């Protein structure tokens, strides 16, 4: 785009992070080419919604309102868990170094680079999955997860934090705006919030949950948490007949 004069660099910002230098460019560019936009829908069209259920054993499961599974992402990298031994070794080595010494500075740099790499692996995976969903579906529904409440389960808090559900949802929102698509947020108690006057199917999020739980995809969770809704944001097999939750009595 720069070579064809379709974009202009406004300014550059140089920063240092984890021992490396980065240059961020602020660029003024036109919107995506119309060929990359989703086809406009009629104002009376309320179909085409796809529910996306986020979890741990399967990072994301997408299903239509009819319950047909259209995507299942199970290859999350788990960079934090994989590199935990390295992180612990570096942290222990750092604690044993004299404050202000060159050795402490070197180990701190290595630990910082390790954290940076773990964050980049998760961010790259979220971009890959969000691109896949946004390019193939113009209407998505995601659930407003109670992540803070799930983190109270100390056995799964690390895995939930590593999953990066909030970052994944953020990417879906802005990428759909780029392509003139829609993302609706289904409240945990059944109501749906969205940025369009066209109402999404309130069952879409529930259908995605059913697609996940009916095939027992939560079997990868710890034995004490299998089929338990508070463990990984997934509903147990015993609840497979429900599509949306009802609000608790006041």
163 has a pLDDT exceeding 60:
yes
pLDDT in tens, 167-178: 999 999 999 999
Res 217 pLDDT > 50? no
- pTM: predicted TM-score of the whole model, two decimal places: 0.71
Give the up-direction half-sphere exposure of residue 237: CA atoms within 13 A in the CB hemisphere: 8
Overall average pLDDT of the 85-104 stretch = 95
* Closest among 147, 159, 163 to 222, alpha carbons compared: 159
């Amino acid at each position: 785009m720069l070579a064809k004069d379709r974009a202009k660099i406004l300014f550059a910002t140089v920063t240092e992070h984890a021992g490396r230098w980065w240059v961020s460019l602020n660029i003024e560019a036109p919107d995506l080419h119309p060929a990359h936009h989703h086809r406009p829908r009629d104002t009376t069209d309320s179909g085409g919604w796809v529910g996306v259920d986020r979890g741990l054993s399967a990072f994301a499961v997408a299903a239509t309102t009819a319950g047909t599974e259209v995507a299942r992402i199970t290859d999350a990298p788990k960079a934090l868990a994989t590199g935990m031994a390295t992180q612990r070794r570096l942290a222990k080595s750092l604690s044993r170094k004299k404050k202000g010494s060159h050795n402490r500075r070197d180990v701190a740099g290595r630990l910082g680079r390790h954290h940076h790499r773990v964050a980049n692996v998760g961010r790259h995976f979220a971009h890959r999955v969000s691109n896949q969903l946004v390019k193939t579906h113009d209407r998505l529904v995601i659930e407003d997860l109670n992540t803070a409440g799930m983190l109270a389960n100390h056995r799964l808090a690390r895995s939930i934090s590593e999953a990066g559900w909030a970052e994944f949802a953020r990417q879906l929102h802005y990428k759909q705006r780029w392509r003139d698509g829609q993302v609706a947020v289904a409240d945990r108690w059944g109501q749906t919030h969205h940025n369009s006057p066209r109402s999404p199917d309130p069952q879409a999020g529930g259908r995605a949950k059913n697609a996940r739980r009916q095939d027992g995809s939560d079997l990868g969770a710890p034995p004490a948490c299998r089929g338990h809704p508070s463990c990984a944001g997934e509903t147990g097999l015993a609840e497979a007949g429900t599509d949306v939750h009802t609000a608790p009595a006041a």
